[in-house]
Structure 1
């Protein structure tokens, strides 16, 4: 039986890629971000990409593009833009128009009547409006006939070499039990955490600001993770580093692996940071360690924001290194400017987290299939 998916707010297609790894057929994706749409089209050739604001997307259009009838879609997935919910947005609140985009998702749920729904967002959604957004999501889905459960999933628990937290809502209208995937990686699991070296240790060295274009791999993959993400790729793309000014390069020279802004001589610190307490800004100007996990990959791997300095080379991580830390296959060639490429990577659901969700959905779907066969 073919299990189908449609991905709203799909971006470059990280969640779609994970669902496809789990055996789903992604029929369509929708997003407004043009560069992300180009990436999605290149990497999901069997899916239809619909480029427009979700407010303008109609149920009829989705049905026509996919050949489905209401009730036939297996799962509708999506992550409404998270900026309004993020702890990094100090102006967040239900008054932010982006905080109501989940209503558009609900409108499409009502029209498509998928068997299952999956929504993901940042953990800040729990505190916005005193939990108002979460209560509304669950109450409105219940009114449409869906029972929903939410949980915080940690990307590193599923093989992603990064500390990343996401709230995942899973629901169905079938009356089936709902649960979330259990951890597969970590000290108490069958597999250890995937380290930064496991993820990017095979990528060729590059200079600050360098963009070598398409280049060959230097060696065979050294870890199963590298082999998995290489797949059938024969060249490395998007291995381009941002250009840091000389003043920052001089600062980086003082930062050891695991170090941060505290290792920079006081007189070399940015003026604003000279006033900071030693307990503040713990990730700023952080240099990664080979055996550690990455901090959360954001839409701009700026050394001023977090630990985005390469473990050995005096530069910020490249787009491809950020993509590896997000568990994107090397076959993903990100379109657009370098800035747009970082945004696509940072906004995405890590494909391996998407795969864990997809695998778990498949297990829950098997309950229905067995019941129907009995």
Structure 2
């Protein structure tokens, strides 16, 4: 017999064996159940209960620490106070959440029934009898957790779950430094005749000082004299760029918003509000370092790449009698990312 014939017969035998296999495998059933230490030892069971209570207590203390930190360490306006507030609030909330989560997991693994169960698959809509049976199963689960007989456990759980929402609600209802007037995002410091000045020293900028390809980080004149200069700066910062006039594409409704190729756009990214500040002179592209949204400065700061959905708002500018760059008006649209009352 040739090697070819032998290989053909072997292939046929394999095919025959494959077709004679069983259609279904026998259900092996559940693996052998191994009781936990707490199932047979009341002391171990009580110890597990105390551990769950301890974890819920950690959550309660974490929530109380959050409340104290919220009032004791307000964010303020300096980087140091903001960092201190974020760290204390973040750590306390972490303990509040971690306590509840680990307590729930440990309760289920150490105290509740751990016998494996299986059910036959059934139609999606259960019968009334099945639904009544489901209610009984829920009651059985409540009885299995022994929540009715474990008073301390129940009190600690209820205390942790009842107090934790305060860490979410408190910042919403507190009036310390809170301002929910979203209309303020629709306007900034800029107004007609206000000079463009360099950030951070506040030096007025002459049009003659801006050469083609140069970039200026700009703030409004008099920003540092405002009661809350950082709040105003967060809305009013501008990036000033000069292009060759022939490279600039101006929409009909924006004619006259630039001056001899000098354009000014908001530095606040329209995606999530990061500062847009990386300018590429050859392509006229402006990049946001956070999520790589890219805007075309030569064409109305339109989005050419990335998650941002809208162009950067443009600040209309001109020059005054002394040759200094000044604003023609405020932005004609809200700056920054979307919010719930925004029309554009």
User: Do the structures match in fold with TM over 0.5?
Assistant: no
State the structure with bigger RCO (CA 8 A, min sep 6), 1 or 2.
1
Pick the structure with greater CA Rg: 2
- How does the TM-score come out when normalised to structure 1? 0.21
